[in-house]
Amino acid sequence: MALTGVEIFKLLPKTNCKKCGYPTCLAFAMKLAQRQASLDACPDVSEEAKQKLGEASAPPVRPITFGTGDGAVKMGEETVLFRHDKKFVNPCAFALEIKDTLSEDAVNAKLDEVLNAEIERVGQKLRIDAIALSNDSHDIGKFEAAAKIIAQKAPGLPVIICSDNPGAAEAAVKLFSDRKPIIFGANTANADAMADIAKNYKATLGVTASGGGLDALSSLTEKIKSLGVQDMVIDSGARTAKDILKDNTFIRRAAIKKNFKPLGYPVITFAIREDSLLEALIGTIGVAKYSSIIVLSSIEKWKNLALFTLRQNLYTDPQVPMQVEQKIYKIGEPSPASPLLITTNFSLTYFIVSGEIENSKVSTYLAVMDCEGLSVLTAWAAGKFTAAKIAQFIKESEIENAISHRELVIPGYVAILSGSIEDKLEGWKITVGPRDANGIPAFMRARAG
């Protein structure tokens, strides 16, 4: 059970030294109870208190990383039921199922699909994150052979080894022992053997209730924990949209609201359907409602785009606008005579404006000014995109050393600023550009003659 603020307070040094950043030990204790502070912030807490508080202050959904290097997937650490309460922390991963009954060519083709699935959207690289190798053949040799192809061809991809046969699981997991894999398929019948394999190969264990419901799942995770395995992902066995929604919500509520440790693990959801559209729909339920891994049977560009976009939108911090770095961006291969445009650093604004400049095929310098991620009109209204600030940014950017002219094109929405910018940027001519980005290509082509 979670400790109350007062219970936590009793275990703290009670010196009110403020080293933790809070005015009193009680204030710090209250933040710990709400999981808005970390015990590490108090340097004077005793070892005994650390032990007692460690469990209570641990994130309600256990943090787990699977895979290594750039492709590693972080899961868990969630603290809220609703994104608007704070934010969702670790975006869910998508995994493509590869069956060991496929031919070598077919396995290679699936791997190529995954390796080529990455797209860039508003500056973020979005991709299919993992492979889920399933032992459909029930043949250890075939399973191991398929695992070998994956290990050789896609060394950077995180892998989920799906088999409830400990012999098959061990044959495959050996090939990924240095890659933090997941072994999925621990159940009441094989828990001891699967726990041993997970421990030996430092793998996360995927635990399934096999239709036994959430009570059975809780008992199983407790048993596996007592066998020495800490890192687990859990599957309630739900496969219909309604059951996935119901079970995932129950699991998250139990973890967050009740601090119920037996269900405080990332959830894996199998969205697999023959009908790709239905599979995409089931996937969206997993994205929206608490799945940390969603296993798909096929990937297609339209499906990826829908799932990636939903994931990206839900896993951004609602309190922090998406923004790009303040600097002068080169679009194309600008020369000293190339035009200079300015806009704000809201990601969407930057990507739309830069995209339209690319469409114009006119090489350009684009000055992107830090306005705390606000769009042009909002930044102007908030006093962050003003004549004085624009003039200061242009001077400090040293763009004057790169261009042979002194003309700055400002967005049409802030035409009102043109005179005052000219006053502050001596020797510069301010030109008012189009109000909307889609007017940029025609504007640029007309200027280029």
CB of residue 56 vs ligand SF4: minimum separation in angstroms?
15
Pick the closer one to ligand SF4 by CB: 57 or 316: 57
Could you say which DSSP state residue 346 is in? B
Choices 13-21, 105-113, 300-308, 347-355 (CB under 6 A): range interacting with ligand SF4:
13-21
**Cα 219 from Cα 186, distance rounded (Å):** 13
Site size for ligand SF4 (CB under 6 A)? 13
Pick the closer one to ligand SF4 by CB: 20 or 126: 20
What H or E segment, with its residue span, contains residue 55? helix 47-57
| Binding of ligand SF4 by 296 (CB under 6 A) | no
User: Which of 3, 28, 95, 267: binder of ligand SF4 (CB under 6 A)?
Assistant: 28
Cβ-contact 157, 184 below 8 angstroms: no
User: Which of 40, 44, 55, 120: binder of ligand SF4 (CB under 6 A)?
Assistant: 44
| Binding of ligand SF4 by 65 (CB under 6 A) | no
CB of residue 26 vs ligand SF4: minimum separation in angstroms?
8
Cβ-contact 87, 317 below 8 angstroms: yes
CB of residue 62 vs ligand SF4: minimum separation in angstroms?
25
Pick the closer one to ligand SF4 by CB: 20 or 117: 20
User: Which of 3, 12, 251, 390: binder of ligand SF4 (CB under 6 A)?
Assistant: 12
| Binding of ligand SF4 by 11 (CB under 6 A) | no
Choices 21-29, 162-170, 188-196, 361-369 (CB under 6 A): range interacting with ligand SF4:
21-29
User: Which of 1, 6, 17, 442: binder of ligand SF4 (CB under 6 A)?
Assistant: 17
Q: Which residues of 336-367 are buried (b: 16+ CB within 10 A; e: fewer)?
A: eebbbbbbbbbbbbbbbbbebbeebebbbbbb
**Cα 22 from Cα 16, distance rounded (Å):** 8
Cβ-contact 64, 198 below 8 angstroms: no
Choices 16-24, 295-303, 334-342, 374-382 (CB under 6 A): range interacting with ligand SF4:
16-24
Total residue count of the chain as it appears in this document? 449
Tell me, what amino acid is at 287? Answer: V
Pick the closer one to ligand SF4 by CB: 25 or 107: 25
| Binding of ligand SF4 by 42 (CB under 6 A) | yes
CB of residue 13 vs ligand SF4: minimum separation in angstroms?
4
Cβ-contact 90, 280 below 8 angstroms: no
**Footprint of ligand SF4 on 92-131 (CB under 6 A):** none
| Binding of ligand SF4 by 331 (CB under 6 A) | no
Which of 181, 189, 182 minimizes the C-alpha distance to 211?
A: 189
17: phi then psi, degrees, rounded to nearest 5 = -80, -15
Pick the closer one to ligand SF4 by CB: 31 or 252: 31
Tell me, what amino acid is at 207? Answer: V
**Cα 175 from Cα 182, distance rounded (Å):** 12
CB of residue 18 vs ligand SF4: minimum separation in angstroms?
5
User: Which of 5, 13, 321, 434: binder of ligand SF4 (CB under 6 A)?
Assistant: 13
User: Which of 22, 88, 265, 380: binder of ligand SF4 (CB under 6 A)?
Assistant: 22
Pick the closer one to ligand SF4 by CB: 16 or 420: 16
Pick the closer one to ligand SF4 by CB: 12 or 147: 12
Tell me, what amino acid is at 110? Answer: K
CB of residue 11 vs ligand SF4: minimum separation in angstroms?
10
User: Which of 4, 15, 38, 313: binder of ligand SF4 (CB under 6 A)?
Assistant: 15
User: Which of 18, 125, 258, 405: binder of ligand SF4 (CB under 6 A)?
Assistant: 18
Checking phi first, is residue 237 left (phi over 0); if not, alpha (psi -120 to 50) or beta?
left
3-state secondary structure 31-53: HHHCCCCCHHHCCCCCHHHHHHH
Span between the terminal Cα atoms of the chain, in Å: 72
Which of 290, 221, 229, 223 minimizes the C-alpha distance to 261?
A: 221
**Cα 429 from Cα 426, distance rounded (Å):** 9
CB of residue 89 vs ligand SF4: minimum separation in angstroms?
24
Q: Which residues of 64-86 are buried (b: 16+ CB within 10 A; e: fewer)?
A: bebbeeebebbbbbbbebeeeeb
Choices 22-30, 164-172, 223-231, 274-282 (CB under 6 A): range interacting with ligand SF4:
22-30
Residues lying near ligand SF4 in the complex (CB under 6 A): 12-13, 15-20, 22, 25, 28, 42, 44
